[in-house]
Amino acid sequence: MFEQDALAYGFDALEPYIDTLTMETHYGKHHKTYTTNFNAAVEKAGLEGKTVEEILGSLDEVSDTATRNALRNNGGGFYNHNLYFGIMSPEPAETPTGALAEAIERDFGGVDALKEQLTALAVGQFGSGWAWLSTDADGKLVATNSANQDNPISLGEGTTPILGIDVWEHAYYLKHKNVRPDYVADFFKVLDWDKVAERYEAATQ
**Closest distance of CB 170 from Mn ion, Å:** 5
Nearer to Mn ion, 19 or 166 (CB): 166
What minimum distance in Å lies between the beta carbon of 90 and Mn ion? Answer: 19
What is the gyration radius of the CA atoms in the chain, in angstroms?
Answer: 16
- Measured from the CB atom, the residue of 165 and 171 that comes closer to Mn ion is 171
Q: Which is nearer to Mn ion, 169 or 198 (CB)?
A: 169
Q: How far apart are CA 54 and CA 59, in angstroms?
A: 9
Least gap, CB of 19 to Mn ion (angstroms) = 14
- Indicate the residue among 132 and 168 with the shorter CB distance to Mn ion: 168
Shortest distance in whole angstroms from residue 146 CB to Mn ion: 13
Min dist CB 80 to Mn ion, Å, is 7
Give the integer Cα–Cα distance in Å for 173 and 66.
30
Nearer to Mn ion, 108 or 183 (CB): 183
Give the number of other CB atoms < 10 A from CB of residue 63: 8
Site residues (CB under 5 A) for Mn ion?
A: 166, 168, 171
Show the DSSP H helices in 1-97 as ranges.
20-25, 32-45, 52-56, 65-70, 76-86
Q: Which amino acid is at 14?
A: L
Nearest residue to Mn ion, by Cβ distance, number only: 166
Phi first, then psi: give them for residue 181, nearest 5 degrees: -60, -35
SS3 content of the chain, % helix, strand, coil (to 5): 55, 10, 35
